[in-house]
């Protein structure tokens, strides 16, 4: 199959969004943290189901070498793109909508709206390393390299870095 492009990844997540029998039994919301379920991981593609509520927020991050796409199948999420010297550009996506991003993009995805959200994410090549961005009080941006597995651990206290998600 090889690496998939952003639009090809959108097609993958939209196909899965239309097949709830593949993931509906995995939907579970936890007020403390996003809930992740891996639906597939092979040489070319990783697919996750993620459940969001209560303003869960990934923080700004990149996906190292991977492009990705997200389909919203319940509720809504917002994607922020980081700008220098200006507020982030925000787009909101509700159930039935999808978006994609390249490996070069830095973004943040957060839950929005009153209802819990459910999203399906596809990454190609499969997500392995990530960068998580910390904004220091003076505005300096600092990148922290992470393993994709690190985002699965529970958050500790009011941790600043909340990688991954979109």
Least distance to Fe ion, CB of residue 63, Å? 6
Task: Kindly state the smallest distance separating residue 31's Cβ from Fe ion, in Å.
Answer: 22
Contacts to Fe ion from residues 127-166, by CB under 5 A: 166
The CB-of-166 to Fe ion minimum distance in angstroms stands at: 4
Q: Does 59 bind Fe ion (CB under 5 A)?
A: no
Of 24 and 67, the one with the shorter C-beta distance to Fe ion is 67
Nearer of residues 21 and 142 to Fe ion, judged by Cβ: 142
Nearer to Fe ion, 17 or 114 (CB): 17
Answer for the pair 64, 103: CB distance below 8 angstroms, yes or no. Answer: yes
**Burial of 65 by CB count in 10 Å (0-12 exposed, 13-18 middle, 19+ buried)?**
middle
Q: Is the dihedral of CA 11, 58, 3, 101 positive or negative?
A: positive
User: In 10 A of CB 61, how many CB atoms?
Assistant: 26
Q: How far is the CB of 123 from Fe ion (least distance, A)?
A: 9
Residues 6+ apart with CB under 8 A from 131: 61, 62, 64, 106, 143, 144, 145, 146
Q: Coil, helix or strand for 4? A: coil
Give the residue with the Cβ less far from Fe ion, 75 or 166. Answer: 166
Chain residues that interact with Fe ion, rule: CB under 5 A: 166
């Amino acid at each position: 199959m090889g690496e998939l492009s952003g639009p090809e990844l959108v097609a993958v997540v939209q196909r899965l969004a239309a097949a709830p029998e593949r993931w509906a039994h995995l939907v579970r919301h936890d007020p403390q943290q996003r809930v992740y379920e891996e639906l597939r991981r092979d040489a070319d593609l990783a697919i996750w189901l993620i459940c969001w509520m209560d303003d869960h927020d990934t923080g700004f991050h990149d996906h190292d070498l991977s492009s990705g796409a997200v389909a919203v199948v319940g509720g809504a999420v917002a994607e922020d793109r980081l700008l220098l010297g200006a507020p982030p550009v925000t787009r909101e996506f509700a159930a039935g909508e999808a978006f994609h991003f390249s490996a070069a993009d830095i973004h943040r995805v957060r839950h929005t709206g009153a209802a819990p959200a459910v999203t399906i994410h596809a990454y190609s090549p499969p997500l392995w390393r990530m960068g998580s961005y910390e904004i220091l009080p003076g505005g300096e941006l600092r990148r922290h390299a992470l393993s994709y597995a690190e985002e699965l651990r529970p958050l500790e206290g009011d941790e600043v870095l909340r990688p991954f998600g979109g």
